[in-house]
Structure formats: C-alpha cells, structure tokens
Amino acid sequence: MHTFRRFRDKMGGGGLSIVTAAIFLAGEMAGSGVLALPSAVLGTGWPGLLIIVFFTVNSLFIGTRLGMCWNLLEDRFEEFKGEIRDPYPAIAEKSYGKIGRTVCLVCICITLYGGGCVFLVLISQLIGGLMESANVSLTICWWMVITACVLTPLTWFGTPKDFWPIAVGALITTVAACVLIMINVGMRSSKETIVFPKATADGFFQAFGTIMFGFGGASTFPTIQADMKVRSQFKYAAIFAIIILFLIYFPVAAVGYFSLGNLVQDNIVLSMTEGWEKIVVEIMLLLHLISAFPIITNPPAQLFEELLGIPSTFNIKRVLFRSFCVFCLLFIAESIPDFGAILNLVGGSTITLLTFVFPPLFYMKISDTTSKENQERKLAVWERVYCWFLILVGLAGGGLSTYNAIRSIADAEFSSPCYIDSNVTASGGGGH
C-alpha cells in the first residue's frame, strides 16, 4: 500500500509531474487523427513527411509559449499561484479583457464538447462493429445510449491529476495500435503492386489541414499545466509530449505511404488485412477513445462549474452537472448522427484559434504588457516574427479547412434524428 502511494504521488497524486503532464498531453492529442496521416501524405508525395516535421517544430514553440504565458502571469498576479479552474480563459482575459475571455471560452466549449460528441459516435460505432461479430446487433442509436451510460462515471473525476491512469491508458493504447498497423500494412506491401500518385496542389492543401489538426489540442494545455506540481516546468512537459507525437505520427505516415501507395484509404485501419491484428487495433482505438473522453470534456466542465459556483471537491452537484453534460452530448449526437461535416466547419475554426492563433497572440500581448512594468522581460525580434508567422499559418490553414467543410456540407445528406428513426446510421468526423 505504501508503495502504491509513493507511486501515485510520483505520477500525479499530489500534482502532475513533468512525465505525467507529458503523457496527458500526448494521450489527448495522439488520437484518431493519426489514422488519416498516410492518406494525407498520398496527395503530397514524400514531401508530406516534411510537413509533419514542420508542424512538430511549430508545436514545440507554441506549446512552450503558451506555458510561458502562465508563468508570466503567475509572477504578476497572486491569483495565478492558487487554484484556477478556467486557466485558458483567464490567460485570454489578462491579454484582451472580457472579450478575449468570452471568445476563448466559446472556442473551448465548441472544440472540446464537439469532440466529445464525435467520440461518443465513434465509440458507439466501434462497439457496434465488434459486438456484431459476436452476433449482438443493435442500431447506432441504442449503442450511443449505452456508451453514454458507461462514460458518464469517468467524467466525475475533478481535475487531470485525479485520473492520471486514464491518460496513461490513452497513450499506451494509441502506441500499441500504431505498432500493429505498421506491422500489418508493412507485410501487406510485399503482396501488392504499389503505385505512387503525383503530388497535386489540392492534395498539398488537404494534407496541410489534416496534419495541422493532428497537432491540435492546445485547449487542454493550460488545464494540465494548472495541475502540475511545478507549473514553471510545463515547457519540458510540452516538449516531451510533442516529441512523443512525432515518434508516433512520422513512422505511421511513412510506413503507410511507402507500403501502400495508392491503396491507402482515408482511415489506415481500413487498409489493414483482415485478421486478429485488425481486431486488436479496433479494440485499442476503442480503449483510447474511452480513455480520452474524460480528458477532453474536463476543461469545459471546470469552466462551467466555476461559473455555477460548484465546489472543486467531489460532491453531488459535480456528479449531477457532469452527468447532465454527457446527456446533452448524447442528445446532440442522437439529433445529428451524421454531423461530421458541420463539426469540421466549427471545429476547424476553433481548433485553429486555440492552437495556432491565440497562443502566440497572447504571448506577445502578455510579454509586451509585462515589459512595461518589468524591464527584464523583452520579446526578441525573431520571436515576434515567428509568432506572427504562426498566426498567419493558422489562419490560412483554418480558412482552407473551413472552405473544405463548407463544400462537404453542401454535398452531405442528413438523416433523421435517432428519436424519430432509430435505424439511422451515424458518422463522426474531426476530433482527436
């Protein structure tokens, strides 16, 4: 028992360590997005792998600067040294006032609760597919109800430091699934004739958007930093997390592209040969989505609990509120079971803002404000130029994704809600 307590405290029981925080970040970001990378590279050829390197470097800069925003404010404002349940909006408010806070809060809710809806649909689809092979057949509408009931208790944990084992599970299952995918498609390549299509401008822009959102997830960064034992060490956690992402993304994209060529599908799992490996991968992805669900829904839950005055300790109000939130996500998923294109429209813009626009923008604003009162803080010219470069890249990528989402919505056919026709099929999109 004492050994377990020491292990728990080391991993995050008394506040997250650098390693645990890095696991949280990587586990939340490295999700289903990795499955689309080989197909994304198909439209660019091997230079698409350089785009992954490009976003790895950019994400390292963005993650560390978002962490430095907190550190700067912690030095200036006493309240940042205590418990803060809405860290990202708090940073936005200190940067651009109430307007900044409101815009940031709306973006976080749309991104993370929208991602929660997608996870609910994807988990239900995976469970339905696995259970169908066991001769248990239910419609997606009923599987979503069952899934929501199973996931609800996982959302009752207070903050990330209270459920660090879930983060470990999210990362391990993703890594295990990716290893099996690479082995399976690598073996398949020896039996197929591989053709590599020519790179196109449209393929390049699509790959740019897909890879960019594969590195999205900054909306949870401040929440995890707020739970660290030593918040000033967050930059190391961010660096480790992005390196872990690169070690997952780059090999999967490279092996998928060079092994399958034009045979690769939008979801690399669909390109696997039938057998136990594919079943295990589906189970691993299912476990990942279940593990990641409480991670992505935790930040907005803390935001609203702060607004509603719900205590931060475990209590019946938290249980009822978070259960109600899952019920709302279930209602949305049951109402629009094929809302993937719409979520890509709103999620594309909000993910872009939270991940590639707000962090450098807030960092410059806070640095400039701090330097007026503390001459020791001065932003380097190269740093400011790089910040504006990232903002422009984010806006361009977000605009492109929005355009593609609008095209998808124009071509989409929407089915009836589940409570009108329980035999509909469902499709999810976006998310990690």
Question: In this structure, what token pair is assigned to residue 142?
Answer: 């009923």
pLDDT of 385 above 90: yes
Query: Is pLDDT above 60 for 389?
Result: yes
Q: Which residues of 387-408 are buried (b: 16+ CB within 10 A; e: fewer)?
A: beebbebbebbbebbbebbeee
pLDDT digits (tens, 9 = 90+) for 394-430: 888 778 777 776 776 666 566 666 666 666 555 544 4
Q: What is the largest CA-CA distance in the chain?
A: 70
Q: What is the pLDDT of residue 61?
A: 92
Domains assigned to the chain? 16-411 (1.20.1740.10)
List, for residues 35-87, the tens digit of each pLDDT value: 788 888 888 888 888 989 988 998 889 988 988 888 888 888 877 777 777 88
Digit-coded pLDDT (tens) for 331-353: 888 877 555 555 666 666 788 88
Neighbours of 15 (CB within 10 A): 16
Confidence band, pLDDT 50/70/90 cuts, at residue 216:
confident
Q: Is 277 exposed, middle or buried (0-12, 13-18, 19+ CB in 10 A)?
A: middle
Sequence-distant (6+) residues with CB within 8 A of 270 are none
pLDDT of residue 408: 67
Q: SS in 3 state form for the chain?
A: CHHHHHHHHHHCECEECHHHHHHHHHHHHCCHHHHHHHHHHHCCCCHHHHHHHHHHHHHHHHHHHHHHHHHHHHHHCHHHHCCCCCHHHHHHHHHHHHHHHHHHHHHHHHHHHHHHHHHHHHHHHHHHHHHHCCCCCCCHHHHHHHHHHHHHHHHHCCCHHHHHHHHHHHHHHHHHHHHHHHHHHHHHHCCCCCCCCCCCHHHHHHHHHHHHHHCCCHHHHHHHHHCECCHHHHHHHHHHHHHHHHHHHHHHHHHHHHHHHHHCCCCHHHHCCCCHHHHHHHHHHHHHHHHHHHHHHHHHHHHHHHHHCCCCCCCHHHHHHHHHHHHHHHHHHHHCCCCHHHHHHHHHHHHHHHHHHHHHHHHHHHHHHHHHHCCCCCCCHHHHHHHHHHHHHHHHHHHHHHHHHHHHHHHCCCCCCCCCCCCCCCCCCCCC
Higher pLDDT, 84 or 184: 184
Q: Give backbone dihedrals phi and psi of 15, rounded to 5 degrees, phi first.
A: 120, 145
Q: 218: exposed, middle or buried (C-beta count within 10 Å: 0-12, 13-18, 19+)?
A: buried
Residue 412: predicted pLDDT: 59
Q: How confident is the model at residue 388 (pLDDT cuts 50, 70, 90)?
A: very high
CA count, 13 A, side-chain hemisphere, 47: 11
List pLDDT tens digits, range 257-277: 888 888 887 778 878 887 888
> Residue 7: is its pLDDT beyond 60?
no
Contact residues for 317 (Cβ-Cβ < 8 A; gap 6+): 310, 311
